[in-house]
Amino acid sequence: MNLLKRLRCLVRGFGVCLFVLITVCSWAGVATAATSAVNQPKVVLLLHGLSSNLTTWNRLVDSQAGFDSRCSSTGNANFFKQKLKPNSEGVYCMRFNFGRLDRISTAPRGLDNARCSKSGGCAGGYSTFETLGTEIGTAITRIKRKLGDNTQIVLLGHSSGGIAARAFLQSNDANRQNVVGLITTGTPHSGTPLGRYYNYMSQNCLPESSYDSIFNFSNCARNWRFTKIILKKVGDIDLKAPGINFLSDASPQIRELNNNIGQLPNIVFTEITYDRINFGCLGNSLTNRESGCGYNIFSEVIRPSNTALNFVLNGRSRAELRGDGIVPIFSQKMSNLLGWTLPIRAFNKYSRVHIEESKQVRDLSIALSNIYRRLGWL
């Protein structure tokens, strides 16, 4: 009898121990999963536009509302040796210069067979949408090697940087799975009329050498003078680069990209748009850099011919193409694309010229904080 009682007690004790062991292991698993989620690196990858570079983001990077002066270049030779620090919100900032593939043998040629002549590339101006997307994929590969395969990434693209982000997200690149959000600002999702200028020149004003004489006052000679002066006057805009043509609102490249928006993953989307500035205001005003028209292609002494401008307008008025001076407001909206069905948060702003949009710290920081909350990063 005593032996039987002892056996029963032993069995009960073993059961209790087993229950405790299972409970402890279960909580340990939950704790491990929670720790893993907390330790999942979070990154914002900044993508500049054409005729620009990674320094266009300096104001955002250096601001406390942005990244506390902490932002690493993924293309830096010492990138893997650097000790990276997140900002006060626990988010790492990364950026790089487009253009690494501008000089490959298959790179598209520009007006009059122009090629990229800069050793470090031409800011992506001589790259297709596909090769720009490839550069993003390469940057993400380096980020994952540095921070881990489970890194979560938000892409923030200005102008054509947003188009590059979409080209990447609409590709089959395996690194897409790390991207959890996309913010675009001033991005010509439906193209820009300014891109039509390239097409006009290609059809009517080649070769350039035929219009070199200072005594030539033809429309094409006038157009070539404008093409050259704009490189010096406004943000190094290279109107001979094929990238300008690809961004035209009439380009096959834009049409193909937009016909395939169904390939976009179901991630968190945000768009920042700017309105109230008539088309043709390229910016760089001496008195009001942010909202002043600056170089006006319709009124400057050195400007395109009326024939070229009418080709660009394509029967529309400047007011109809109102937006940020280069990209009409309707084109800046991803949500306007035919077939768009995904949820998106829109921030509609006013009176900022295109070349100043990447410097709008308040607008960008609000959009970033919003996407952080939607992702559960905060």
pLDDT in tens, 325-360: 999 999 999 999 999 999 999 999 999 999 999 999
* Domains, the chain, with CATH or none: 41-191+243-276+326-375 (3.40.50.1820)
- What CA dihedral angle connects 107, 136, 157 and 160, to 10 degrees? 10
Q: Identify the residue with better confidence: 17 or 133.
A: 133
Q: Give yes or no for residue 9 having a pLDDT over 80.
A: no
Residue 359, token pair as written in the block: 């410097």
- DSSP helix/strand/coil, 194: helix
Q: Are 57 and 67 spatial neighbours (Cβ–Cβ below 8 Å)?
A: no
pLDDT of residue 12: 53
Q: Give yes or no for residue 84 having a pLDDT over 70.
A: yes
Average pLDDT over residues 364-378: 97
Q: Give yes or no for residue 31 having a pLDDT over 60.
A: no
pLDDT in tens, 282-321: 998 878 888 899 999 999 999 999 999 999 999 999 999 9
Residue 25, token pair as written in the block: 């292991």
Q: Give yes or no for residue 22 having a pLDDT over 90.
A: no
Average pLDDT over residues 125-131: 98
Give this prediction's pTM. Answer: 0.90
E strand spans, 216-318: 268-275
pLDDT of residue 26: 47
- What CA dihedral angle connects 362, 364, 365 and 371, to 10 degrees? 140
Q: Give yes or no for residue 11 having a pLDDT over 70.
A: no
pLDDT of residue 235: 66
